[in-house]
Structures are given as C-alpha cells and as structure tokens.
Amino acid sequence: MTVKVSIIGATGYTGAELVRILHRHPEVELMALTTRSYAGLPLHKVYPHLYKYNQITCEEMNLAKIFDISDVVFVALPHGHAMPVALEAARRGKKMIDLGADFRFSDYQVYEKWYKVEHEARKLLGEAVYALPEVNRDEIKGAWLIANPGCYPTSAILALAPLLKQKFVDTGSIIVDSKSGVSGAGRGLSLGTHFCEVNDNFKAYNVATHRHTPEIEQGLGRIAGEDITITFTPHLLPITRGILSTVYAKLSVSAGAEEIREMYLDYYKDEFFVRVLPAGLLPQTKWVAGTNHCDISVTVDARTGRVIVISAIDNLVKGASGQAVQNMNIICGLPEDTALAGPGLYP
C-alpha cells in the first residue's frame, strides 16, 4: 500500500518535521510541498539538514493540483487558514490532517472567542475528530478530517486521563503548569523568542489567556463526562524542544502513589507511545527529544491530599508532527508506530 501525501505549509518547523519523519515511512510517497515564502526552492535550501533526503521543490499552494495527486493532505498553517483546504477535501472525498486549531473545537463559538477568527467551515465541525489516539482511537479510525491536538493539550490530557476516567480527583481543583521550548513559537521572527531575550531566562506568558486552555478543558471534559474549568499557566524555557507539564489535583478518594501508578500502567498498558515511569523516576524533556513518546510519572502528596502528575513530550513530535503521522497511520489502516518507533537522541 502506498499513501500519496502532500504537505501544505511545509517550511515551518512542523512542516519540516513532517518531512523528516515521512521520508523514512515505507508506505508513503511524498508528492508536493507548498510554501508562501520559498516557492521555487528545493526544501533543502530552506532546511539543509534534509539535503539528500528530500529533492522536492517547494511550490505555491494550488488546491486543485494538490488534491488531484494526494490521498492525504497535511495542513501545517497558522489558525484560520485550514478552512478552505478542508472544504476542498470534503468536495474531493480526500483525507486531511490539520495541525492547527481550526477544527479542534466542537463549538465554533469557543473557537471564535479565543482565536478571534470567524469560522468559515462550521458545517464540517461535526465531521472533524479531535484525534488523541490514546484517548479516542476508535473515533479516529473512520475519520477523514483529523484535528491534530495542540502540544500543551497533549501533555495535559495524557497526564490526567486515567485519573478522570476513574473519577479519582476533584475536577474543580486542576492546575496545569507547563513549560515549553522555543520551537513551540514557530519559525517566524519575534522579539519574545530572540536569543538575547530567551537565553539565561525563564518566564511565564499568556497567563490566564492562553488559547490552549479551552482545548485542554474540552478534552478533559469529554473524558470526565462533565464540564471542566482549569487553571493553566504556560512558561517559556531557554531550550529548543520539549514540553514538561506538572499537573496538580485534589484527590477525591483515598489512594496512595503506588495504587495510582498501577492504575496508570493498566490504562496505558497497550499504548506504546506512553511510558509510565518507575516510581522515583521523573520525566525529563531530554529523554523524549526527537521521539513520539509521552513520559509520565505520578506522585501523591499525602500531606496536602494532592496528586502530582508530571509529563514530558517533544512539542514538535508527539506535540505536533509525530502525532499527525500516528493519526495518518490509523486512518490509513497502517501499523500505528510506522516511521515513529525508536528512542530519541541523548544527551
């Protein structure tokens, strides 16, 4: 089986990461790469690390051509730009995986409130599947329109899913404290990600206003079967890759760390990409760099009655492009770990 794939928005970090992963996929033929800024250039002129691994010349987006030659189209564009692509995919009966936020919300009003963009493809929201494989794999299998989760939501939802499924925590007490590497801000130039601003520095940003907040709440609420409101605070680390989330919640049952850890092991027992670490071992971003893994540890603070869950992912892989390929494998009936298995780089 050969899956013909194109990438719209191939010259951002997530687009380049898709190319890196897909080049080693034995069932994929990469057909086209689009860009706004580098049309006419081979991709390796933009990303020299791909020299000899990709010979495709970047081109302007032509939706008719893209869908003529593709079975699956990845869209790695800023929010607001995937809607016309999805409408064309629907007309053509093709599969689309959106790495942006345009189809992550079941309620378009939530999207419009947080992203300040009118949703022009509302009729497709009922067909889009929010695709976190470890949580809703069965829904993903039959989907044509995949809403790939955000990086912070992936780390937070995977950290909390077992506790919410078993109703072990007070859902009104959840605090998600996350730290991300600078690549999460994308490749565009901005003062906030300038080397002199980031190096030897550590800061919170978008406190109480980050756009991933409602996405996390929606994902957690679906697992818990109730509306959930959380406190979410993101921070910027002076590193390139990685997200580490520390999640706090008040226990609603009497349970120790080992009992909860066993619950996590059972919940994720068939999930290759989630690694529940042994007691006393706490996740580090370095351990998951370049991988599609999410590492998780669980601790109980008996003094306060709180459970503390720590998760770590690579924001560009499990938090974006790796998870997108994982979802492609699912909707195409391929082994889920194809092109994704393997440890990362260390140190």
As annotated, the active-site residues are 151
The answer to whether 28 touches 2, Cβ cutoff 8 Å, is: yes
In angstroms, the CA 89 to CA 191 distance is: 37
The answer to whether 8 touches 59, Cβ cutoff 8 Å, is: no
Q: What would you report as the CA-atom Rg of the chain, rounded to the nearest whole angstrom?
A: 20
Q: How far is CA 200 from CA 146, 190, 194, 195, 197, in A?
A: 38, 18, 12, 9, 8
Alpha helix stretches (DSSP H) within 70-187? 83-92, 108-115, 133-141, 151-165
Fill in the amino acid letter for 179. Answer: K
Question: Which residues, 6 or more positions from 293, have their beta carbon under 8 angstroms from its beta carbon?
Answer: 273, 274, 275, 287, 313, 314, 318, 344
With H, G, I as helix, E, B as strand and everything else as coil, classify residue 335: coil
First to last CA, the chain: 37
User: What is the DSSP code string of 242-306?
Assistant: -EEEEEEEEBSS---HHHHHHHHHHHTTT-TTEEEPPTT----HHHHTTSS-EEEEEEEETTTTE
The answer to whether 108 touches 122, Cβ cutoff 8 Å, is: yes
Closest by CA position to 323, among listed 332, 314, 335: 314
Which H helix or E strand runs over 179? Answer: strand 175-180
